[in-house]
Amino acid sequence: MIHTNIEQVNAGIMLPLMEAFYTIQGEGYHKGTAAYFVRIGGCDVGCHWCDVKESWNADLHPPTSIDSMVEKALLYSNTIVVTGGEPLMWPMGPLTEKFKSEGANVHLETSGAYPLTGEWDWICLSPKKNKPPLTEVYQKADELKVIVYNKSDLEFAEHHAARVKDGCKLYLQPEWSRRDEAMALIVEYVMKHPKWAVSLQTHKYLNIP
């Protein structure tokens, strides 16, 4: 990011935008519904199985004015999903304020590793082992989505489920590269522990973004 934009990015007036697109939500509670996705660059959580590693380096993604982001998004949908990367690395207040002023429903996908900023209608918390969520994010999460790579992730999932608020939706989702092995674990576990539900990356099965 060039120097003249750093202050605006730090204030949340501009954000490192990796990509933005209109599609069908593929995962979790809102799967199957249309939404406009805003993918913010920058992440230092470092999951080895991350399928958008190109989002990690914020300097690769141009600082973009939130005005232009909001204007374009609302041409497509009233439901906006802010994802990453890790969006909470940047102040989200200005972006969500603009969306909310236009009557949009704004959803967040986060690891919870950074302080919660912004006003959200739905928060999907997907905790990672390298950098655990902050307490404040647990209590605001509407949905807990844990990626299952191997059996130890089921214990990891319960650790986090014990920290979210009552009524938070609980999902186990197979890591895509090990989906067959992980799904067998998940199906057996959900049948024994029905407070959990299965989440699939349905957009990958349907071959949509």
Least confident of 7-21, 59-73, 190-204: 190-204
Determine the 3-state secondary structure of 200 from DSSP: coil
How does DSSP assign 49-80, residue by residue?
T-S-GGGS-GGGS-EEEHHHHHHHHTTT-SEE
pLDDT 10s digits, 131-170: 999 999 999 999 999 999 999 999 999 999 999 999 999 9
- Report the CATH number that the domain containing residue 15 is assigned in CATH: 3.20.20.70
Distance CA 5, CA 107 (A): 26
**What's the number of domains the chain is made of?**
1
- Angstrom distances, CA of residue 159 to CA of 97, 132, 172, 192, 198: 33, 11, 13, 17, 18
Model's pTM, two decimal places?
0.92
What is the residue range of 153's domain? 3-205
